[in-house]
């Protein structure tokens, strides 16, 4: 019998961050990292990129909390670009193309540096649960632990579709996890089924690459991680190319919709990704458009594989062969890997708390696509939180939550536990009502002290933050001393002008301080609103408070509370079907319940 403090199941982005976070906290403990194939830890299943709008902020938050995703992309990025710079810094989104092979290798290298992480090859089909509490998992032999993090990605009863051809698996060339779904159902979990898709990969040698417009990275790229490095960027930088779909291509797709599983209901899933739709969905939903952009993105620095960002598809191979050659520059394109759709099981996330711990089984945590999310970054953010709380559970410490005002990770977790997913959840800046406070550039200020308090942040990261904090303070002092604050507030003053006047300081830190000054009025109002809401937002709902005993509460509200079981008044207030009047009644009931307890 083998025993660990924490067991993490699944080698994707959620699993990596969960294992890393748990190992950071359990310095003298042991973490089992169980995966079907250790060679695939950190693999980029779909788009070879990290970050984007909303997503880039999550990566910066993971870094501020001591995670590994930002470090890995800084070491393996091949095109860095800050998105949305025509708007204010609050909605800027860092993004980077990755050499996907180098990224996988870097993740595996980092994991190998942790002596208290044991990588174990195997498939978990059964969980060991006694009296509602996790005790471990079953492989060829039982593995015991005080906490388990389940990060199954798209592998729970995964089924891949290309036309009418179906194959079991959560990713091309890999098997599926079949038994775990039945185990979770047997424990009483309500499962759902979602679908997603991926585009074809083309041979770069077969594309008329030089004839297509370039998409270049930033001349002075910004790293994701705050950890200082000697050289950045590390790898040679590449450019992407842009092409587009055509009217002829749209016609061919429409003629074959009955052969597209993502569209023809062949897939037994509730919905696909609305914000990253298949090309089949695009040509129907946007019928008035004759073209959609397609970004041709190299998957490695020196390799031949090109990712076609924008034409995710489940159409049959013969249709894919035809339609890719209808795009400009791709008339002679050769497909290296066909696009396909995948359907998979999820655990509906109203059955977890915002800590990632399940409500049904104490010590069992869920992270990533099993919770109905989409994307590497969303998965990694959940993984870090799950790993943190699994380790705290193993040490008999109270779980940690992140608020909507603290982090995009907090926004995501709150959204997950207060809504039922009808499609894979994807983060956007528009989801965060406090986004002026949650900028990508101030993630360290918001979260590094928090991470240090709970054991996630190492000494070198903490030292770097303290040095940066002192420079930020000095810049603010100099701006006041040189009477530049009013100039900084003027819309006709450029950031470059202010950076020139403060040339002795890091220009990115100057930009950050100026952003604070420009947003100052709004930030003061947001802090005031957060303070006003604090009493309601964080007020705990006793787990034993029976909604049917709350006098005057409507039947609809009772049903919603019984289904979602919110842990705070703030969560309850965001549930569909709960009114302000209901919140008042619940608040009164909490007071009475506390007095009688």
User: Residues 25-62: pLDDT tens digits?
Assistant: 999 999 999 999 999 999 999 999 999 999 999 999 99
Closest of 235, 243, 239, 280 to residue 262, by C-alpha: 280
Encode pLDDT of 500-543 as tens digits: 999 999 999 999 999 999 999 999 999 988 888 887 888 999 99
Residue 546 has pLDDT above 80, yes or no: yes
Closest of 10, 110, 30 to residue 365, by C-alpha: 10
**If you average pLDDT over residues 70-95, what whole number do you get?**
95
Torsion of CA 425, 430, 436, 442, to 10 degrees: 30
Compute the distance between CA of residue 362 and CA of residue 344 in angstroms, rounded to an integer.
Answer: 25
Contact 431, 375 (CB under 8 A): no
Neighbours of 268 (CB within 10 A): 9
Q: Which residues, listed in sequence order, are joined to residue 241 by a DSSP beta bridge?
A: 214, 296
The one-character DSSP state at 177 is B
Residue in the block written with tokens 């101030």: 442
Question: Which is higher by pLDDT, 228 or 369?
Answer: 369
Compute the distance between CA of residue 557 and CA of residue 391 in angstroms, rounded to an integer.
Answer: 35
For 471-522, give the DSSP string. HHHHHHHHHHHTT-HHHHH-TTS-HHHHHHHTTTS-HHHHHHHHHHHHTHHH
Question: Alpha carbon of 464 to those of 56, 227, 276, 447, 565: distances in Å?
Answer: 21, 7, 37, 14, 41
The pLDDT score that the predictor gives to residue 270 is 59
Quote the tokens at residue 319. Answer: 């249709």
Contact 104, 41 (CB under 8 A): yes
The pLDDT score that the predictor gives to residue 298 is 97
The pLDDT score that the predictor gives to residue 272 is 53
Quote the tokens at residue 448. Answer: 């590094």
Helix (H, G, I), strand (E, B) or coil at 436: coil
Greatest CA separation for the chain: 76
Q: In 287-429, at which residue ranges do the beta strands (DSSP E only) sit?
A: 293-298, 305-309, 335-337, 340-347, 364-366
The pLDDT score that the predictor gives to residue 534 is 81
Q: How would you classify the pairing of strands 133-138 and 142-150?
A: antiparallel
Neighbours of 435 (CB within 10 A): 19
Beta-carbon contacts of residue 182 (< 8 Å; ≥ 6 apart): none
The pLDDT score that the predictor gives to residue 273 is 56
Q: Cα 311 vs. chain centroid, distance in angstroms?
A: 22
For 210-269, give the DSSP string. GGSPEE---SSPPPS--S--SSSS-SPP--EEEEE--HHHHHHHHHTGGG-TTTSS-S-S
| Portion of the chain with pLDDT greater than 70, in percent | 98
Closest of 525, 524, 592, 520 to residue 552, by C-alpha: 592
**If you average pLDDT over residues 318-324, what whole number do you get?**
97
The pLDDT score that the predictor gives to residue 390 is 98
The pLDDT score that the predictor gives to residue 178 is 83
Question: Which is higher by pLDDT, 299 or 263?
Answer: 299
**If you average pLDDT over residues 102-125, what whole number do you get?**
97
Residue 594 has pLDDT above 90, yes or no: no
**If you average pLDDT over residues 242-248, what whole number do you get?**
97
The pLDDT score that the predictor gives to residue 126 is 94
Beta-carbon contacts of residue 177 (< 8 Å; ≥ 6 apart): 36, 123, 124, 125, 152, 155, 156, 157, 158, 170
For 307-327, give the DSSP string. EEET------HHHHHHHHTTS
Encode pLDDT of 424-482 as tens digits: 899 999 999 999 999 999 999 999 999 999 999 999 999 999 999 999 999 999 999 99
Domains (range + CATH), the chain: 2-196+344-446 (3.50.50.60), 201-341 (2.40.30.260), 458-526 (no CATH), 538-596 (1.10.150.570)
The pLDDT score that the predictor gives to residue 228 is 83
The pLDDT score that the predictor gives to residue 1 is 72
Average the pLDDT over each of 9-13, 191-195, 250-254, 319-323 and give the range with the smallest value.
191-195
What values do phi and psi take at 112, rounded to 5? -65, -15
Contact 383, 429 (CB under 8 A): no
Beta-carbon contacts of residue 362 (< 8 Å; ≥ 6 apart): 132, 133, 134, 393
Beta-carbon contacts of residue 333 (< 8 Å; ≥ 6 apart): 202, 203, 206, 207, 324, 325, 327
Contact 167, 346 (CB under 8 A): no
**If you average pLDDT over residues 355-379, what whole number do you get?**
97
Q: How many CA atoms lie less than 13 Å away from 133 in the CB half-sphere?
A: 7
Length of the chain: 597
pTM of the model: 0.94
Encode pLDDT of 248-278 as tens digits: 999 999 999 999 887 766 776 655 555 568 8
C-alpha radius of gyration, the chain, whole number: 25
Mean pLDDT, the chain, integer? 93
Quote the tokens at residue 74. Answer: 């800084």
The pLDDT score that the predictor gives to residue 274 is 54
Neighbours of 24 (CB within 10 A): 24
């Amino acid at each position: 019998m083998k025993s660990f403090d924490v067991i993490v199941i699944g080698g994707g982005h959620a699993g990596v961050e969960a294992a890393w976070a748990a190992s950071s906290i359990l310095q003298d403990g042991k973490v089992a990292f169980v995966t079907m194939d250790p060679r695939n830890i950190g693999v980029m299943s779909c788009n070879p990129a990290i970050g984007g709008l909303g997503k880039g902020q999550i990566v910066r938050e993971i870094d501020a909390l001591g995670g590994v995703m930002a470090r890995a992309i800084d070491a393996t990025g091949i095109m860095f670009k800050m998105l949305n710079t025509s708007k204010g810094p609050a909605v800027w989104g860092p993004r980077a193309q990755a050499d996907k092979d180098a990224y996988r290798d870097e993740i595996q290298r980092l994991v190998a540096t942790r002596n208290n992480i044991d990588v174990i090859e195997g498939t978990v089909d059964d969980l060991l649960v006694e009296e509602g509490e996790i005790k471990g998992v079953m492989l060829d032999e039982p593995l015991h632990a005080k906490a388990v993090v389940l990060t199954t990605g798209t592998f729970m009863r995964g089924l891949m579709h290309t036309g009418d051809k179906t194959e079991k698996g959560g990713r091309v060339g890999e098997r599926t996890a079949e038994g775990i779904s039945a185990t979770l159902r047997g424990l009483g979990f309500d499962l759902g089924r979602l679908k997603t898709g991926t585009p074809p990969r083309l041979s770069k040698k077969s594309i008329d690459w030089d004839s297509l417009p370039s998409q270049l990275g930033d001349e002075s790229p910004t790293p994701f991680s705050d950890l200082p490095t000697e050289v950045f960027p590390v790898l040679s930088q590449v450019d992407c190319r842009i092409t587009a779909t055509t009217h002829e291509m749209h016609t061919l797709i429409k003629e074959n919709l009955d052969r597209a599983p993502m569209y023809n209901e062949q897939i037994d899933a509730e919905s696909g990704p609305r914000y990253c739709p298949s090309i089949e969905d695009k040509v129907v939903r946007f019928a008035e458009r004759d073209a959609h952009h397609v970004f041709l993105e190299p998957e490695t620095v020196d390799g031949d594989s090109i990712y076609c960002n924008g034409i995710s598809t489940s159409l049959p191979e013969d249709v894919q062969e035809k339609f890719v050659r209808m795009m400009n520059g791709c008339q002679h394109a050769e497909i290296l890997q066909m696009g396909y759709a995948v359907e998979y099981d999820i655990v509906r996330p109203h059955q977890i708390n915002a800590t990632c711990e399940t409500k049904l089984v104490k010590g069992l945590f869920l992270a990533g696509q099993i919770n109905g999310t989409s994307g590497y970054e969303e998965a990694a953010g959940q993984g870090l939180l799950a790993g943190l709380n699994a380790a705290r559970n193993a040490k008999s410490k109270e779980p940690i939550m992140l608020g909507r005002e603290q982090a995009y990770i907090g926004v995501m977790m709150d959204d997950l536990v207060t809504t039922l997913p009808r499609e894979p959840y994807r983060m956007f800046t528009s989801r965060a009502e406090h986004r002026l406070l949650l900028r990508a550039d101030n993630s360290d200020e918001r979260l590094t002290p928090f991470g240090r308090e709970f054991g996630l942040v190492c000494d070198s990261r903490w030292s770097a933050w303290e040095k940066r904090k002192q420079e930020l303070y000095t810049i603010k002092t100099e701006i006041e001393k040189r009477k530049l604050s009013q100039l900084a507030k003027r819309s006709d003053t450029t950031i470059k002008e202010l950076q020139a006047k403060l040339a002795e300081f890091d220009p990115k830190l100057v930009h950050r301080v100026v952003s604070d000054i420009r947003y100052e009025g709004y930030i003061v109002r947001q802090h005031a609103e957060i303070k006003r809401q604090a009493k309601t937002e964080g007020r705990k709902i006793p787990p034993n408070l029976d909604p049917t005993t709350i006098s005057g509460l409507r039947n609809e509200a009772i049903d919603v509370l019984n289904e979602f079981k919110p842990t705070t008044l703030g969560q309850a207030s965001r549930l569909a079907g709960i009114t302000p009047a209901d919140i008042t009644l619940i608040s009164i009931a909490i007071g009475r319940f506390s007095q009688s307890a």
